[in-house]
Structure 1
């Protein structure tokens, strides 16, 4: 995803899909399994908030101490923000709108979206939080790709002021949700050390950059 046209196409596709999901949610025409990135106990049968806390307190491999402290801080903040988050608009969310799940034509436009396995009702702004984190994974430290994406996305889907206020926190809590899933995967025998190392370095730096684009 190195060209601006691809970023624009992604922003348009994400915005259009969010609008379409809102229609489905309003009509109640779809049923999905409960899954919310702000409700960590819904994310993996072998993991949850307690399992994540135990894992970072007694890790099977070396992880940064400051990363552990940051995760615990975010977990506390998640409790403190519960009422505010409950007030945010909710609808069906894809949860996995990564570039790998978007089909691209030769002219750079998007032709389709894949992998709806994690689609479920959640906070609407989570979709944008996921996409911005993913965008910054490909363009670390760069502000312009975020601005391009947001301009096109906002032309399709407008989030309200409360959602935009919570967006930086949702970008961070997305990573906490991923860590919760990885703890479950570790319990099932998968190697998650590399994923933990990346996530501990990605929180906050991505958020600060995205916040500057607003």
Structure 2
């Protein structure tokens, strides 16, 4: 009996010799590198709880459009099966697909120049995806503002059960902080509908980018792309930089210099940075709770993100004036 990956290979290639290697990335799906006749591809078995046919269709449409219209970076493209399909349905209920393999290494953000290049990529990505036209009938994925819809097993009831009886050690202080963040978001009145919306990648961290010769050349992992508040993209990557640089204002200003060379925002959007930060981290934590209930070990990732949320929220409060000044200076029209 064929393994899921053997079934996937048979759907895409006729009687070929191949080599499969593991990858150091891919926490949501099961991913392998496939090599045939000196050519490399990415094989992916999608998480059945988080990837639907509509989700693959959306990812394929966006990456194909970017590939055809954008020179700034490359994206993985879905190959067609022998039956001209973009994916296959496996017996256990999950979906599988093969995409192109992109060359490059994970970029570093150790210098101001690297931070500027990171910002330029994020701003450029956001500006180009903003041009996508959508109608009311297109599938738009799940907005992070719908934090109880991020994972089908992370309902308000299951999250409450998780917090009341954590399956692994979490300090009382962190649990109380997590509850406070949830209450802050729920009590915000969700004033975000008036802000500009567009498709947002939601995961433009250095780990999902590829670089060559100190230039970011590839964008990976479109699993969480969905229609959301446009400023969410900047918020997520900015928080990533704050964490990676330990709050260096030199690095933050370089990031904003690069970002603003490609994309601007309004003062109204910038005013929602704190709320969007809370929503982003809570949604990621809820996703990990869903993964826990799906039988996946999440302790390390969950604690890491919860601690990062606490540190970043504290940093944003302590440095609010200086950061807001930089945001207005660089981003406002």
2 CA distance for matches of 1:129 and 1:5? 20
Gaps of 5+ in 1: none
Q: Cα offset for 1:35? A: 1.1
Q: Cα offset for 1:3? A: 2.6
Q: Cα offset for 1:204? A: 4.2
- Is structure 2 residue 148 aligned with structure 1 residue 38? no
Which residue is equivalent to 1:109?
Answer: 215
2 CA distance for matches of 1:98 and 1:109? 15
* Structure ID, larger Rg: 2
Distance of aligned partners of 1:33 and 1:46 in 2 relative to their CA distance in 1, 3 Å threshold: farther
Kindly report which structure 2 residues correspond to 1:1-214, keeping only aligned pairs within 5 A, or say none. 1=108, 2-24=110-132, 27-28=133-134, 31-106=138-213, 108-207=214-313, 208-209=315-316, 211=320, 212-214=322-324
2 CA distance for matches of 1:81 and 1:126? 16
2 CA distance for matches of 1:112 and 1:62? 38
2 CA distance for matches of 1:42 and 1:206? 24
Per-residue CA distance 1:2-24 (angstroms, 9 max, x = gap) = 13222111111111111111110
Distance of aligned partners of 1:144 and 1:206 in 2 relative to their CA distance in 1, 3 Å threshold: farther
Q: Cα offset for 1:69? A: 1.9
Relative contact order (C-alpha < 8 Å, sep 6+): which is higher? 1
Does the CA-based 8 Å contact 2:210-2:216 persist in structure 1? Answer: yes
TM-score by length of 1: 0.89
In terms of fraction of residues, the more helix-rich structure is: 1
Does the CA-based 8 Å contact 1:32-1:119 persist in structure 2? Answer: no
User: Could you say what secondary structure the match of 2:191 adopts?
Assistant: helix
1 CA distance for matches of 2:216 and 2:134? 27
Q: Cα offset for 1:163? A: 1.4
- 4+ long deviations beyond 6 Å: none
Gaps of 5+ in 2: 1-107, 325-333
Note the aligned Cα RMSD (angstroms). Answer: 2.0
**Count of aligned pairs:** 211
2 CA distance for matches of 1:205 and 1:189? 28
TM-score by length of 2: 0.59
Does the CA-based 8 Å contact 1:53-1:72 persist in structure 2? Answer: no
Does the CA-based 8 Å contact 1:35-1:120 persist in structure 2? Answer: yes
